[in-house]
Chain A
Amino acid sequence: MITRNAALPDAHAHETVLEPRTGWRSLGLGELWGRRELLYFFVWRDLKVRYKQTAFGAAWAVMQPLLLMAVFSVSVGRLPNVAPAGVPYPLFVFVGLVPWTLFASSLIAASNSLVAAEGIITKVYFPRLLLPVAATGSYLIDFLISFAVLGLFLAYYGVSLSWAVLCLPLFVLMAVAAALGVGVWLAAINVRYRDVKYAVPFLVQLWLFSSPIVYSGTLVPNSLQPIYALNPMKGVADGFRWALMGGPSPDALVLVSAAATVVVLGSGLLYFRRVERSFADVI
């Protein structure tokens, strides 16, 4: 489907053509931009609804990484060599868990976003990509809250920041892009196969232990490091620790993580656009 906004002095400047289309199509980013206000309303709705009628409100945003930190500190944290020497384990794990929570929550929300919006998908047209994008966006706000708590942690442990902190937004972007990439793949498949609903929690759990969040990535043998780096969250976790705690600076492997992120996001968006025309028929 194409929408043209020709700048002609014609009375019908806005022409919409509806016809069957097969195969790949463009990402329709122009249309997404045109409906950015709707994106804003979706994010705003998700946040409002999430914390309405809750006693702790937005504190829940930070509860999850905090509790996980406590659990891992008294369990995994007691193992030898799990964190680099001289780094307090609670700080080490919390710096990993904050971006991890962003990634995991966004991924889960994005993969459910279409099925949860069945009522509007079958009643009104809007660019469907807005739904997974908005799901991710609302967790970015949660991330900012838990990031503020992370700041208090860093101050408590007396960590002094270097210029590396300026690179942090790049790693946040990488976590969001990876979550969105996997999220749009799963969201599109979820429309047809509800198996996704059961697979996602399991996938997220496996992913946590496949990423250097609760342990140091150096525990993985050197020969396996290039494969290990295919996991975008390895790049993100290493990047966060480097930017905030002065961990080892990223090497060429961070480019592997970045490339994997680009591939999963690009393929996810293209696949989503390819199958979106049948969403209303099969959801």
Chain B
Amino acid sequence: MTEPAISIAHVAKRYRLGQLQDPYGRLTETIWATIVSPFRRSAPRSSASRQLWALSDVSFDVHGGEVVGVIGRNGAGKSTLLKILSRITEPTSGRVVMRGRVASLLEVGTGFHPELSGRENIYLSGAILGMRRAEIRRKFDEIVAFSEVERFLDTPVKRYSSGMQVRLGFSVAAHLEPEILIVDEVLAVGDAAFQRRCLAKMEDVTHEGRTVLFVSHNMASVESLCSRAVLLESGRVVADGGVREVVDQYLHSIESLPVASIADREDRHGSGKLRFIGIQSSMRLGAESEIRLEYAGQSTLRNVEVSLGLSTLRGEGCMYLANQLTGNEFVSIPQVGTMVCHFARGHLLPGVYSMNVYCTVNGELADWVQDAARIEVAEGDMFGTGRIPPAGYGNVVAQHDWMVEEAG
């Protein structure tokens, strides 16, 4: 029996909340604290009540060639674990041994400089990620071909669309050849076609016998890539085993957990020029349905674009709804109001769906909340027959008719 490729033993990580909340410490505070209590090793603010254990007593081994998914809710400690394994931060206690050349991918396009050209950034990002110059030169054509940005190789990356930047960044990273690969949710970006190619590339990598640790919210990609999963909850390992059982346990745990009301959510992105403050839905298969988004703006709202993404709790996308798709332009809308998305007939199968909301005002991101609400779709009779399709054929049904044409 060979030694495991990654051994994680009793790893714990403590953050001082002061560090998290006030990263811009002031010198005078420390000097003052030292004057007041010169024999104390650290400032008094590091009392136990202001500490956060992001990870506590995490232990598991990963054997060579294994592909392990790490799953868990936001704040469960997945990112902290990745940061420790990637050597970005040190554990507070415990020990990790990694046997083999390690590469970690916590972001797409690490080290890109906006002023430099695509060609220059391939070399820069490759070198930062740990490739040798000769290695980058050897793989250069392959990287360029995969990224599909040949025509813009000598254009500064700042003029690239965000999709092109993501493609180029992923292409560089995909050509690393480590024995151990640590990947964060980098596949959650980019357009759908490119995501599929990234997944295919990841599958190639896993078939080459590399050891991979993969963190994701998308249970479908975890299930397709990994044979084993580790579930983290509040910084501890609560399940470790076959990917299906662990994913099922996770889904069961999140279904029973209520989602905080959208008005109280802190984990949102955007300028706040417009914020969603309430979400209601009445959705029923085959019947008139609607989703209502209450919002409040900071000033007059012009050129508002809103989009909703519905996915299953396993993370598979089901439906994308947007006012720019339908042509219902919101050129100027009241400062406070409700956006209504109306369906003449609901096409989603009964069940619970997770919804992301995304909104721009005048082209600038105003509010973006992932898993903003859980939408429940009620049972209904789409075809007037009382029947619905069997499971395993997606989540959407289409209105359709059947007939027979006589031959000849």
Contacts and interface: CB of A to CB of B under 8 A. Distances in A.
Given A19-B94, A37-B127, A280-B83, 15 more contacts: A11-B2, A17-B98, A18-B91, A18-B95, A18-B96, A49-B113, A49-B115, A119-B110, A120-B111, A125-B104, A193-B26, A193-B27, A195-B27, A278-B89, A281-B15
A124 B104 CA distance: 7
Nearest to A277: B90
Contacts of A282: 19, 23, 25
A281 B89 CA distance: 7
Nearest to A124: B110
Interface in B19-56: 19, 23-27, 30
B131 to A, nearest CB: 9
Looking at B86, B90, B107, B130, the one whose CB has the most chain A CB atoms below 10 A away is B90
Contacts of A125: 86-88, 104
Contacts of A53: 115
B27 A120 contact: no
A56 to B, nearest CB: 17
Contacts of B64: 11
Contact of A14 (B101, B110, B111): B101
B90 A1 contact: yes
Contacts of A37: 127, 132-133
Given A48-B116, A280-B83, A122 B96 contact: no
Greatest chain A CB density within 10 A among B83, B123, B127 is at B127
B162 to A, nearest CB: 16
B61 interface: no
A93 to B, nearest CB: 34
B23 A283 contact: yes
Contact of A16 (B23, B87, B92): B87
A163 B142 CA distance: 53
A78 interface: no
Interface string A109-138: 000000000011111111000000000000
A195 B27 CA distance: 7
B87 A18 contact: yes
B300 interface: no
Contact of B93 (A15, A20, A38): A20
Contact of B110 (A1, A12, A15, A123): A123
Contacts of B99: 12, 14-16
B233 interface: no
Contacts of A17: 95-98
Interface in A10-61: 11-12, 14-21, 37-38, 40-41, 45, 48-49, 52-53
Interface residues of A, number: 38
Interface string B366-404: 000000000000000000000000000000000000000
B124 interface: yes
13 contacts: A15-B98, A18-B96, A20-B93, A38-B128, A40-B133, A41-B133, A119-B111, A124-B110, A125-B88, A193-B25, A194-B24, A195-B26, A278-B90
B3 interface: yes
Interface string B104-135: 10110011010110001001100111101100
A49 B127 contact: no
A105 to B, nearest CB: 19
A17 B30 CA distance: 32
Given A49-B113, A194-B24, A280-B83, A18 B98 contact: yes
Contacts of A277: 89-90
B132 to A, nearest CB: 6
A119 B111 CA distance: 7
A124 B128 contact: yes
Contacts of B100: 12, 14
Nearest to A122: B88
A214 B97 CA distance: 56
Interface in B120-155: 120, 123-124, 127-130, 132-133
B102 A16 contact: yes
A20 B91 contact: yes
B85 interface: yes
Contact of B88 (A124, A192, A193): A124
B121 to A, nearest CB: 9
B165 to A, nearest CB: 14
B251 interface: no
B174 interface: no
Nearest to A125: B87
Q: Which 9 A-B pairs have the closest CB atoms?
A: A12-B99, A125-B87, A18-B96, A41-B127, A19-B95, A193-B27, A16-B98, A277-B90, A280-B88
A234 to B, nearest CB: 28
A21 to B, nearest CB: 7
A14 B101 CA distance: 6
Interface string B333-352: 00000000000000000000
Nearest to A130: B128
B225 interface: no
Contacts of A124: 86, 88, 104, 106, 110-111, 128-129
Contacts of B101: 14
Given A123-B110, A192-B25, A280-B83, A19 B104 contact: no
Given A12-B5, A37-B133, A125-B104, A21 B19 contact: no
